[in-house]
Amino acid sequence: MAGTSSTLPLALEQIVQRFQRVADPKQRYEQLLSLAKRLEELPDADKVPENKVSGCVSQVYITAELIDGKVQYHGDSDSQLVKGLVALLIRGLNDLPPEQILQVTPDFIQATGLNVSLTPSRANGFYNIFRMMQQKAFQLQTNV
């Protein structure tokens, strides 16, 4: 755990620390739901097949654009809990250059303590969302 924290982008490190301060799994879920409520609405026009995360039980959409060399993500889900995971990832990875996003490994989820509370399908969904965000960063990097 200590090894991953030094390589995490600052925003993601701060999110991990916020979750680490909460010992109760129910309160961690409440933190996720709070993140979900604050997530900016994704326009219906962006809810298209190329933005849909495959391998998720819930409907999840992620968009990305490059602005001044930094990736800007937007996303949504029909499940509030998954929407919270989307919000966590967006907050942690937004405003970073694609190269930095590609260096992040998804094992930081263990440092948050959320992994023990997620069902196997939600944990799998988290990894699929994370992978799609990295794929979009890679595509933006190669299209420059």
Catalytic residue (choose from 42, 56, 82, 88): 56
Angle between helices 80-93 and 120-142 (to 10 degrees): 40
Nearest residue to 132 (alpha-carbon basis) of 39, 48, 54, 43: 54
Answer yes or no: are the C-beta atoms of 74 and 94 closer than 8 Å: no
Contact 32, 129 (CB under 8 A): no
Q: Note if 56 is an active site residue.
A: yes
Active site residues: 56
